[in-house]
Structure 1
């Protein structure tokens, strides 16, 4: 059994809205190139994704929606009709071969799932995945098909697995939550910037699940300007308590890298420290509660130069159980990409200190986040049993 596999092929780069769109798959290329320059990954670690079949997409998505995505990618649907299905909008424009490109990202997460569940690899990483805003019949927020939702249904159908989904993207993982809102065998945990300020505006503490699934949805809407210590306290405490309560067979983590201070679309004040810690905690909890079965996907992250490659590299280092990288980034990598980058690189694995001017409300924000955590965890702390 391998320690970890990295799911990637250039076919994943076809998911491209435009050269100026914030969602840019060059992030994956930059990350993989950085790992190669660090001699942290070998060609034998890389597994090519496959394209998800229509049958697999239908585990979650409605037939009419899939058909509309196919037609849009062939130029047969205009923005006016497409907008009914969430495509052809400013956030999620139509692009050629939209169905094939989107199905390839889903297939990458299914590939990662099979690698872990069939015992070929202890952990698996698909940075092309993490499109957590996709709904059953509608695209949303840069996401066409929802690879995590399809993969969770696939894990249930093929392996009979109870799945714990953990989302640390700054945006609420709404598409995954609503897909499994009434399913007692899927537990969703999302730590995100409060919807008072940020798309999609959902992810309240009171969103707890429905029917037999009541109690299996956990939301931690943290305040704007939240810093590392508070973010990590909520993440580790919630993740461990929920894993111990839910007893999953496998953990799927979504690793958006947009909670960083530099991210242009969010208002959180995290540094590279959280991205060093998040995957190491995930690996430890997977080992403690589900035999090490851990699948990780990408997600948001819109400073693709200064933040995402460093943040996502930490996931791979954690999976390979290598010491966290520190000190200068490889000169060759910096030189190769700096001319193309619109901003100067951070030349080290760590962020400069101080990264920003100290905020005046830190104690108040930390207290509010602690209250949110206590309120969301109250259900299991009252010794309720999973259904």
Structure 2
């Protein structure tokens, strides 16, 4: 392992718990971190703990009245006045319920993403990952999509204001990165690129290819809304073609990427049908782009992912293994059947409600999806429109 990568993490981040049985549960970090530790891939020398973001940092993206509401709803028994206003601020009890301590733990998640930016932009490291971050749906005045404060937007604004950086934000979550897009829709020094399932059928319903940015920022917003049941080859074809053109056109000083791993076929909340192959290839593409265009400066965040057992640990581990130049990545390219650590399987299988995979990559002898060629053709047409203004 090189010394060019840092891992931002504290077990306190698992305190982000919306409610019992909610699909978003930060305890999914635990099997992912343990998988890396079983490999010896995250020695304590590369781990850095986050600190809570200040209110001043939050105010760069969120309104003062929204932050006041989050604080008021964070106590054990909020006043009736604030409970009655909860809906106004997006605290839907099924989607994004408020919970005790949410201001503190969400500020910690934001602080982790800010620290990742600081470590990279100050030259302490080339790359930094913060798997507890990536809460990309939160809006200026509203919680949304399981997200309370938008750590990605706050960290990007910090990079822009404090370091004068041009930032390329890459969002690979299956749900459109709407909160980050709207944060910088009129800011020409931030380019947002999101590949996601089309909003015709999936939350948040945004991310159409004609959402381009406005004013002097027109052209700095790029969306690739892929069709339901898109598979690996089409997803990677679209992503690689657009990413190459966007990076060459925008020439960022820093790349911030969001790695929701819910485009996998096992994910229960979406319809894209990719395998673990994209989670091996996609970080490699971003890594190459970072060294080609931004001096290696790369911050990677977590995000969605709702198959906690079969997908999240492998996908996020592959991200860090690529980011830290771990030799296991080269081994996987030679041997698709490479096994997961036996000790990890023995520890977590008793807790998993499903049978855990035994290999890093999936057996992709899956039955091809119906309309495969039609889906591929439609995705290519979308890609052509996405890159229309980048030539």
TM-score (norm 1): 0.96
Q: C-alpha distance in 1, partners of 2:176/2:229?
A: 16
* Residue 148 of structure 2: aligned partner: 144
- The worse-fitting range, judged by mean Cα deviation, of 216-225 and 73-82 is 73-82
1:293 aligned to 2:294?
Answer: no
Contact 1:115 1:124 in 2 (8 A): yes
1:259 aligned to 2:270?
Answer: no
Residue 351 of structure 1, aligned match among 362, 366, 375: 362
* Residue 4 of structure 2: aligned partner: 3
* Residue 31 of structure 1: aligned partner: 32
The offset of 1:349, in angstroms, is 0.4
* Residue 54 of structure 1: aligned partner: 55
Measured on the aligned residues, the alpha-carbon RMSD in Å equals 1.1
* Residue 132 of structure 1: aligned partner: 136
Deviations 1:65-108 (A, max 9, x none): 00100010113255541111012431111111110011010000
SS across alignment from 1:192: strand
SS across alignment from 2:390: helix
Q: C-alpha distance in 2, partners of 1:103/1:95?
A: 14
Contact 2:275 2:364 in 1 (8 A): no
The offset of 1:40, in angstroms, is 1.6
SS across alignment from 1:124: strand
Runs of 4 or more above 3 Å deviation: 77-80
Contact 1:187 1:216 in 2 (8 A): yes
* Residue 251 of structure 2: aligned partner: 247
1:182 aligned to 2:193?
Answer: no
* Residue 171 of structure 2: aligned partner: 167
Contact 1:79 1:87 in 2 (8 A): no
Contact 1:79 1:89 in 2 (8 A): no
SS across alignment from 1:379: coil
Gaps of 5+ in 1: 382-387
SS across alignment from 2:182: helix
Matches within 5 A, 1:77-156: 77=79, 79-156=83-160
Gaps of 5+ in 2: 333-337
SS across alignment from 1:125: strand
Q: C-alpha distance in 1, partners of 2:5/2:114?
A: 15
1:228 aligned to 2:239?
Answer: no
Deviations 1:171-213 (A, max 9, x none): 0000000110001111000000001110000000110011111
The offset of 1:19, in angstroms, is 3.0
Deviations 1:202-244 (A, max 9, x none): 0001100111111110000000000001111111111111010
Task: Number of aligned residue pairs: give it.
Answer: 380
Contact 1:2 1:120 in 2 (8 A): no
TM-score (norm 2): 0.95
1:374 aligned to 2:380?
Answer: no
Q: C-alpha distance in 1, partners of 2:20/2:91?
A: 17
Q: C-alpha distance in 2, partners of 1:79/1:22?
A: 23
Contact 1:80 1:88 in 2 (8 A): no
Deviations 1:121-158 (A, max 9, x none): 11000000000000011000000000010011100111
